[in-house]
């Protein structure tokens, strides 16, 4: 299992592939015995969650960086030694056996490094955590930007991004009411609590396909913060609605569960859009699905204006790193400016398709102001016919929802065309 986890981490850290993509590849899980798959995924996520202190400790144990596969194997073993209940001897022995048979020098090297760690664990980890990257387990530039944006809250924000995320469900109100569904969970021995009009948080994670009523479309997995989009769109039956960046489709489905609207769902990625369409079928919902660049309105728009537009814009995803810890290490600081340009391009183009009096909800799962309030302020300065509306009952300060026990980090802005 350690060897497979190390290979997956090399794909992420050396080749820049997302962990989600790597884990979805058929060959990845096929190489891991079913009994080991939970531990395999825990190691992949755990190493990326705590890569800052793990790399810091490893740098103290080796003079020169080892080959990528050996380095990844050492990181997996160090994660098991420091953050899991795997017995020390088992973690070390498994790592040594996982070394490639063609690399005779790797086995004694890995054994020596890990045994040195065990002899000096407390001092090594204390030293590794003495740096900001080691303390928070983020790149330095990320820490600096969050501190500048949130000088009082930044330690809590960074720490929240390293927690295991809650498993939150959205109950399909067209199929069953929230309280009745919680009763079904209880009957199945699944502990849960209601945390929103359609939101249910499970006490412990549960395999999604075996959730009561999942196959029948009663419920979907969706963070509480993401469940704010549909209510804040102020939907009315019969409206013509655009979901401009629809995949993976959670907000799309929630819009259709909320009101009887004529929904057009766009996404530039036809494969992700196909998965979203499959989920709509599971829920018994329908939309007009189009694979297109939302900003290229000449390629897809028929000229009839929309009353509501949901723009869940591409962003750094800095607010959801506890679900996708690889984001911390794959993003570059320069990505922020590039994504901000794309967000502005989408806003400006889609504004033409909104009718007067209509509303556009701008959403990101980012914490960086350049993608959020700065982007909206710039848009308002360039469009005299746009006004920002208050978000009804919003728990967010200036539209920014910070990650916490119940939700990931999101930004919302509701704009109306005059």
Band of residue 156 on the pLDDT scale cut at 50, 70, 90: very high
User: Does 101 score more than 60 pLDDT?
Assistant: no
User: Annotated catalytic residue: which of 43, 245, 315, 365?
Assistant: 365
For the cut 90, the answer to whether the pLDDT of residue 401 exceeds it is yes
Q: How confident is the model at residue 88 (pLDDT cuts 50, 70, 90)?
A: very high
Residue 100 pLDDT grade (very low, low, confident, very high; cuts 50, 70, 90): confident
Determine which of 93-102, 167-176, 227-236 has the lowest per-residue pLDDT on average.
Answer: 93-102
Mean pLDDT of all residues in 250-255: 97
Model confidence, pTM: 0.94
In whole angstroms, what is the distance from residue 360 CA to residue 413 CA? 8
Task: Give the percent of the chain with pLDDT over 90.
Answer: 93
Q: Nearest to residue 336, comparing CAs of 311, 315, 350?
A: 315
Q: Give the model confidence (pLDDT) of 264-276 as tens digits.
A: 999 999 999 999 9
pLDDT score for 395: 67
Burial of 263 (0-12, 13-18, 19+ CB in 10 A): buried
Give the burial class of 355: count Cβ atoms within 10 A of its Cβ; 0-12 exposed, 13-18 middle, 19 or more buried: middle
Tens of pLDDT, residues 168-195: 999 999 999 999 999 999 999 999 999 9
Whether the predicted pLDDT of 279 surpasses 60: yes
Is 365 annotated as catalytic? yes
What pLDDT shows up at residue 31?
A: 84
Residue 359: both structure tokens together: 């509303």
Q: Answer whether 169's CB lies under 8 Å from 202's CB.
A: yes
Q: What was the pLDDT predicted at 131?
A: 96
The answer to whether residue 352 scores a pLDDT higher than 80 is yes
Q: How far apart are CA 52 and CA 45, in angstroms?
A: 13
Give span(s): CATH 3.40.50.150, the chain.
226-417
Q: What separation in angstroms does the CA of 111 have from each of 85, 95, 97, 174, 177?
A: 19, 8, 10, 58, 56
| Ranges in the chain annotated CATH 1.10.940.10 | 2-136
| Spatial contact of 48 and 9, defined as CB atoms under 8 Å apart | yes
* pLDDT in the model for residue 281: 96
CATH number attached to the domain at 226-417 = 3.40.50.150
User: What angle, rounded to 10 degrees, do the helices at 68-83 and 37-49 form?
Assistant: 100
Arithmetic mean of pLDDT, 84-91: 96
Judge contact between 198 and 178, C-beta under 8 A: yes
Q: Measure the CA–CA gap between 193 and 179, rounded to whole angstroms.
A: 9
Please choose, from the candidates 249, 256, 198, 207, the residue with its C-alpha nearest in 3D space to the C-alpha of residue 227. 198
- In the block, tokens 């419920």 appear at 219
Tell the CATH topology of 167-221: Alpha-Beta Plaits (3.30.70)
**Mean pLDDT of all residues in 329-354:** 98
84: left (phi over 0), alpha (psi -120 to 50) or beta: beta
Strands 240-243 and 306-312: parallel
* Residue 258 CA neighbour count, 13 Å, CB half: 22
Can you give the pLDDT at residue 32?
87
Dihedral class, residue 29 (left if φ above 0, else alpha if ψ from -120 to 50, else beta): alpha
pLDDT bracket for residue 103 (50, 70, 90): low
Q: What is the mean pLDDT of residues 392-413?
A: 88
What b/e sequence results for 277-288 when a residue is b if at least 16 CB atoms lie within 10 Å of its CB, and e otherwise? Answer: bebbeebebebe
Distant-in-sequence, close-in-space partners of 72: CB < 8 Å, separation ≥ 6: 5, 6, 7, 9, 10, 13, 47
Is the per-residue pLDDT at 242 higher than 70? yes
The Cβ-side half-sphere exposure at 227, using a 13 Å CA radius, reads: 22
Q: Look at residue 188 in the predicted model and tell me its pLDDT.
A: 96
- For 58-67, how does the pLDDT look when each residue is reduced to its tens digit (9 = 90+)? 999 999 989 9
**Confidence band of 232 (pLDDT split at 50, 70, 90):** very high
Q: Supply the CATH classification number for the domain 2-136.
A: 1.10.940.10
Q: Which residues pair with 9 in a beta bridge?
A: none
Give pLDDT tens digits for 243-252: 999 999 999 9
Q: What is the pLDDT of residue 102?
A: 57
Provide, rounded to the nearest whole percent, the portion of the chain with pLDDT above 70: 98
């Amino acid at each position: 299992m350690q060897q497979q986890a190390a290979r997956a981490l090399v794909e992420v850290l050396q080749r820049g592939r997302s962990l989600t993509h790597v884990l979805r590849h058929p060959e990845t899980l096929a190489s891991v015995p079913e009994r080991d798959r939970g531990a395999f995924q825990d190691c992949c996520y755990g190493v990326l969650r705590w890569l800052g202190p793990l790399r810091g400790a490893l740098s103290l144990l080796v003079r020169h960086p080892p080959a990528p596969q050996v380095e990844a194997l050492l990181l997996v073993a160090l994660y098991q030694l420091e953050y899991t209940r795997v017995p020390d001897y088992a973690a070390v022995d498994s790592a040594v056996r996982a070394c490639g048979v063609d690399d005779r020098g790797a086995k004694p090297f890995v054994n020596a490094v890990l045994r040195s760690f065990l002899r000096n664990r407390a001092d090594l980890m204390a030293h590794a955590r003495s740096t900001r990257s080691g303390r928070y387990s983020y790149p330095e530039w990320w820490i600096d930007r969050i501190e500048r944006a949130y000088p009082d809250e930044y330690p809590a924000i960074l720490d929240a991004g390293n927690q295991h995320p809650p498993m939150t469900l959205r109950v399909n109100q067209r199929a069953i009411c929230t309280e009745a569904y919680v009763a079904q969970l209880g009957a199945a021995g699944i502990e849960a609590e209601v945390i929103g009009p359609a939101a249910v948080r499970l006490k412990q994670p549960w395999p999604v396909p075996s959730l009561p009523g999942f196959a029948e479309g009663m419920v979907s997995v969706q963070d509480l913060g993401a469940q704010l989009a549909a209510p804040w769109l102020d939907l009315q039956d019969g409206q013509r609605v655009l979901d401009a960046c629809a995949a993976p489709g959670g907000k799309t489905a929630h819009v259709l569960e909320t009101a009887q609207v004529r929904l057009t769902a766009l996404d530039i990625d036809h494969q992700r859009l196909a998965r979203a369409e499959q989920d709509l079928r599971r829920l018994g919902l329908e939309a007009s699905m189009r694979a297109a660049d939302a900003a290229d309105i000449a390629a897809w728009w028929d000229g009839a204006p929309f009353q509501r537009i949901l723009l869940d814009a591409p962003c750094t995803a800095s607010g959801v790193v506890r679900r996708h810890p690889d984001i911390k290490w794959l993003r570059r600081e320069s990505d922020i400016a590039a994504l901000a340009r794309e967000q502005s391009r989408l806003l400006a183009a889609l504004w033409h398709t909104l009718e007067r009096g209509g509303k556009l909800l701008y959403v990101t799962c980012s914490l960086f102001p350049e993608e959020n309030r700065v982007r909206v302020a710039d848009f308002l300065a360039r469009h005299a016919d746009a006004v920002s509306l208050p978000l009804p009952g919003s728990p967010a300060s200036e539209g920014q929802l910070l990650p916490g026990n119940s939700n990931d980090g999101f930004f919302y802005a509701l704009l109306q065309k005059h």
